[in-house]
Structure 1
Amino acid sequence: MSRAPLRPRGAYHHFTPISTRWHDNDVYGHVNNVVYYSWFDTAVNAWLIEVGLLDIENGNPIGLVVETGCRYAASVEFPQMVEIGLKVARLGSSSVTYHLGVFVEGAEEPAAEGQFTHVYVDRDSRRPTPLPEPWRTILNSIA
């Protein structure tokens, strides 16, 4: 059974540098799989804050994660810097799916790739709400 190749560095439109930490390594000497999901969450939310779409305390709507996934191709270990590539893969009426790539600093080929889906909901009712048009414009800037 063959699998599709992972997306190269050029497939992504924004990068977030992250340092691996001592406790990221597991007993096998590489970064544990659960850490990758933390990197995805960090990269998406850091970009949303940077472009003014995420106000943690008062923002409305808010994004709730409804799906994540990851495919691994190579080990990452402490001490290495990684760069998390980000692009919008799908923009729905109230949802956004991101593609993310994990690159050891300077590498062209990813060590892993993932996807991450937010559904945007009203802060109070927690019911899905359409993305505001200005948000769609910003999100499309990395599609």
Structure 2
Amino acid sequence: MSNPNTRASYKHLLTMPTRWMDNDIYGHVNNVNYYSFFDTAVNRYLIDAGVLDIHHGREIAFVVETQCNYLAPIAFPDSITAGVRVAHLGTRSVRYEIGLFRNDADTPAAVGHFVHVYVDRASSQSVAIPEATRAALLPLLVS
């Protein structure tokens, strides 16, 4: 079995640049930015899959839980590759696991997760994950 936290263990990869403003006074990317990379990687996947309409979609997803473990520093001008996989696909929620890889590293600088709960945009009431979204998430699902 492969290491659960290498690039190969993630089903989808997205490379993003760091920005000058991401660095803090200590000379590395500030911790708050890691959550932004997580959010960008997942939502970019959903938009590219055609299942997230950020302006007019009837169902939207709220982040209800998040965690990050910081393993090694990242700093501007590094590139980050975010690996995304789905650890749990429920009826109304999905748990994503994300690894952030610095430049060409095969081991992550950070690993974390967040949970989306699907809701009706107008009422904010929990709803089932739309079938098209479920179909787009299935290729990311790991056992």
Name the TM tier (shorter chain): over 0.9
State the partner residue of 2:139.
141
**TM-superposition CA deviations, 1:23-55 (whole Å, max 9, x none):** 111111111100000101111110000001100
Q: Does 1:78 align with 2:72?
A: no
Amino acid at match of 1:45: N
**Ranges in structure 2 where 5+ consecutive residues have no aligned partner:** none
Q: Is the 8 A contact 1:6 1:110 kept in 2?
A: no
Q: Is the 8 A contact 2:51 2:132 kept in 1?
A: no
Of 46, 49, 63, 1:48 maps to 46
How far, CA to CA, are the matches of 1:30 and 1:92 in structure 2?
A: 36
State the partner residue of 2:89.
91
Q: Is the 8 A contact 1:100 1:115 kept in 2?
A: yes
**Ranges in structure 1 where 5+ consecutive residues have no aligned partner:** none
Q: Percent identity?
A: 50
The secondary structure found in structure 2 opposite 1:124 is coil
The secondary structure found in structure 1 opposite 2:140 is coil
Q: Quote how far apart the aligned CAs of 1:6 are.
A: 6.8
Coordinate RMSD, CA, aligned: 1.2
Count of equivalent residues: 139
TM-score between both structures, scaled by the size of structure 1 = 0.93
**TM-superposition CA deviations, 1:75-104 (whole Å, max 9, x none):** 000111110000111111110110000001
State the partner residue of 2:12.
14
Q: 1:73 to 1:114 in 2, by over 3 A?
A: same
How far, CA to CA, are the matches of 1:110 and 1:132 in structure 2?
A: 31
